[in-house]
């Protein structure tokens, strides 16, 4: 077994590998860029080596620097994590050549599966179901239309070297096939330096289901059940679960056996994933093989009780698999939510900056520990007070739950999301809460088009259904009452000016453009019980008991005997005196006052925000890579004004109306904050 390994990655996956290495008694070496000098993975590792500047092409993607770091520290093996160099055949070959074990598959396996055209041909030879299509590179858009007609619409036009949704178009007719081929080819050339494009049948109501496989250097390969990854936004996975709520036992077995056949065909050693697209009649077709550890591997670890990182290390060290196919378990149900630094209410734009608060739900499951299951686990590479840089992926944590069955797992996940506090940056937690509450998700009736279908116009606050809106008002009144009780108990108050606790409150829920909602709440103190009160709202009674402190963001307690976790904060964007209450993804901002004060508040005039239509504002924090206009230039509505880059995403800003440029406020290369002015029009 290795004595020391280097982890050629960052963030949560680097921390994940360190956890298993520590359990196995293996020393670890972290590598980091200048942006990550204080990162969690650097602190956790036994040693750390600086690679270079923040951009990954100057640090995490420089193979020479990583190999040099391994040699300098005496690391015998390199674990590449996922992303960066994990599926780079040249890097894998280089490691072997330098006498360093690569904790992943051999270079020939990566090469065979990395090319989508070559991998489809291999899959056909291995008797794996493949989607009807044309597997050779296509030269002209006219030829693309001819092939598409032969296959039958709809078709999918894909870049051979594509990934992550780049270089992919769906065409339903000749015009779309013609245009889609040209744009797909250009995108592929720009993104991957490889403009080869192929066409295949587009499966209607498709589900994305993948099989986890594990092979060793002795010819043994097993499949570790499947993962359902159909909940995707713009081809990026959002929620993953294991097993799938859709496929039958027979389909699972057939998919697993075909995945093993493909792995054996390329002499696969290590953990890998064979992705399938599954139609509504459970017809399944090979999509691609990921020759690395997947982001969503923890859900497989939960249901099988296997540590996949440990298995990868053992295989790389030459060990035989210690179990066969018949020994693979499938216990309970696991779900993973990707917690991303993005603002769901601003069309999921990246959100970077300092993590002012970062508090995870209570964990009962842990990385590298497959003994403690049936609980909650958080995989993350960040800590409170840390910086979320603009240079890397937007995922800051993975929240994993494991339950007896799917319904229990969903309930656990909703509760865990309630207890996940992230402040300073925006996160997609409200969106995850909405997805988990959606009736179609709960019944398992979904496909890869689920988010595009149900959130076609983007995600809004009203898209988060709360089963009891009055509970939020009752909780706000409860917190205000406890605050008044505490204030009333302070000594030294002047007679006649002492704080009155009161029993009747009006909860003024702040709405857009001054459209506030007034809710009456009557509070009865539960005598003899500290931290308890009964609140009456709209004829309903809420008996709330909580011993959380008034300055805690998380309020933990029971309501009518049922446990709950909610988040309550003082001071909001709309009003510094308001309370913000968040539960099950729904958030309200409310002022809690006496009925008389509420009457007077109604008479206050609404102050409209300033008109910002003459300005182009930055919708997200990021790097201003281009300003396409000059002072005095006439600009038409829809014309490109500026380009901002953050977290591997380019965002183009267009003019909302015709106008003449008065002033260019920001300069190319500048780091922008949210709502910073870039251009002003006359």
Task: Give the residue numbers marked as catalytic.
Answer: 288
Sign of torsion over alpha carbons 139, 140, 146, 147: positive
DSSP-derived secondary structure for 85-147: TTT-HHHHHHHHHTT-EESS--HHHHHHHHSHHHHHHHHHHTT--B-SEE-SPP--HHHHHHH
Of 569, 398, 394, nearest in space to 479 by CA: 569
DSSP-derived secondary structure letter, 362: P
Where is 314: in which H helix or E strand?
helix 308-316
**Axis-axis angle for helices 107-114, 89-97 (nearest 10):** 170
Of 285, 284, 291, nearest in space to 266 by CA: 291
Where is 432: in which H helix or E strand?
helix 429-437
Where is 379: in which H helix or E strand?
strand 376-380
Contact status, residue 583 vs residue 518, Cβ threshold 8 Å: no
Q: What angle do CA 435, 441, 446 make, to 5 degrees?
A: 115
Which tokens hold the place of 567? 């988040």
Of 498, 483, 515, 459, nearest in space to 579 by CA: 483
Could you write out the three-class secondary structure of 555-588? EEEEECCEEEEEEEEECCCCCCCCEEEEECCEEE
C-alpha dist (Å) from residue 344 to 38, 387, 388, 405, 528:
28, 20, 17, 29, 44
Of 461, 426, 383, nearest in space to 646 by CA: 426
Where is 191: in which H helix or E strand?
helix 174-192
Of 382, 445, 476, nearest in space to 43 by CA: 382
Q: Give the SS3 label for residue 395.
A: strand
């Amino acid at each position: 077994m290795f004595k020391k390994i280097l982890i050629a990655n960052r963030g949560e996956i680097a921390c994940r590998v360190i956890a298993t290495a520590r359990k196995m008694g293996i020393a670890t070496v972290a590598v980091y860029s200048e942006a990550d000098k204080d990162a969690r993975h650097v602190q956790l590792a036994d040693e750390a080596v600086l690679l270079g500047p923040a951009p990954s092409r100057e640090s995490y993607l420089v193979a020479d620097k990583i190999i040099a770091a391994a040699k300098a520290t005496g690391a015998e093996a390199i674990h590449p994590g996922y992303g960066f160099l994990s599926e780079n055949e040249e890097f894998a070959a280089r490691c072997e050549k330098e006498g360093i074990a690569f904790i992943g598959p051999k270079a020939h396996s990566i090469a065979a599966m990395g090319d989508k055209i070559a991998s489809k041909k291999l899959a056909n030879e291995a008797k794996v179901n493949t989607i009807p299509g044309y597997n050779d590179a296509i030269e002209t858009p006219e030829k693309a239309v001819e092939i598409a007609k032969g296959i039958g619409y709809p078709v999918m036009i894909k870049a051979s070297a594509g990934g992550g949704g780049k270089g992919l178009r769906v065409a339903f007719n000749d015009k779309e096939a013609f245009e889609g081929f040209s744009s797909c080819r250009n995108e592929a050339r720009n993104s991957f330096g490889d403009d080869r494009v192929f066409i295949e049948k587009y499966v209607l109501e498709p589900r994305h289901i993948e099989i986890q496989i594990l092979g060793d250097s002795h010819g043994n390969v097993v499949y570790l059940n499947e993962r359902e990854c159909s909940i995707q936004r713009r081809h990026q996975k959002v929620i993953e679960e294991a097993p799938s709520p859709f496929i039958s036992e027979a389909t699972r077995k057939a998919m697993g056996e075909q995945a093993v056949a493909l792995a054996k065909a390329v002499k696969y050693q290590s953990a890998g994933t064979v992705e399938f697209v599954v139609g509504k009649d459970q017809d399944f077709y090979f999509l691609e093989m990921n020759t690395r550890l997947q982001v969503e591997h923890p859900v497989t670890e939960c249901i099988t009780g296997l540590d996949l990182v440990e298995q990868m290390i053992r295989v790389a060290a030459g060990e035989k698999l210690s179990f066969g196919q018949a020994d693979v378990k499938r216990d309970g149900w696991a779900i993973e939510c990707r917690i991303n630094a993005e603002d769901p209410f601003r069309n999921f734009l990246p959100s970077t900056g300092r993590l002012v608060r970062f508090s995870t739900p209570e964990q009962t499951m842990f990385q590298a520990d497959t003994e403690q299951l049936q609980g909650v686990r958080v995989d993350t590479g960040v800590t409170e007070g840390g910086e979320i840089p603009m240079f890397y992926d937007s995922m800051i944590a993975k929240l994993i739950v494991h339950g007896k069955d799917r319904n229990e797992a969903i309930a656990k996940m909703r509760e865990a999301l309630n207890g996940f506090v992230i402040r300073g940056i925006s996160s997609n937690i409200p969106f995850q809460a909405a997805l988990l509450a959606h009736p179609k998700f709960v019944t398992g009736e979904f496909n890869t088009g689920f988010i595009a279908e149900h959130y076609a116009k983007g995600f809004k606050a009203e898209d988060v259904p709360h089963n009891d809106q009055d509970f939020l008002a009752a909780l706000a009144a409860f917190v205000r009452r406890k605050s008044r009780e505490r204030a009333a108990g302070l000594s030294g108050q002047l007679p006649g000016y002492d704080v009155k606790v009161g029993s009747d409150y009006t909860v003024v829920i702040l709405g857009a453009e001054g459209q506030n909602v007034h809710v009456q709440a009557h509070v009865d103190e539960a005598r003899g019980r500290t931290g308890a009160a009964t609140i009456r709202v709209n004829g309903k009674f809420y008996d709330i008991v909580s011993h959380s402190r008034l300055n805690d963001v998380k309020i933990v307690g029971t309501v009518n005997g049922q446990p709950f976790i909610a988040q309550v904060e003082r001071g909001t964007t709309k009003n510094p005196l308001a309370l913000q209450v968040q539960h099950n993804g729904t958030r309200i901002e409310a002022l809690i006052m006496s009925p008389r004060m509420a009457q007077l508040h109604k008479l206050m005039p609404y102050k409209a925000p300033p008109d910002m239509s003459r300005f182009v504002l930055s919708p997200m924090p990021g790097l201003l890579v281009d300003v396409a206009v000059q002072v005095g230039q006439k600009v038409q509505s829809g014309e490109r004004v500026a380009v901002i880059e953050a977290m591997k995403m380019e965002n183009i800003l267009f003019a909302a109306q015709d106008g003449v440029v008065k002033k260019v406020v920001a300069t190319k290369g500048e780091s922008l904050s949210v709502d910073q002015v870039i251009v002003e029009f006359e």
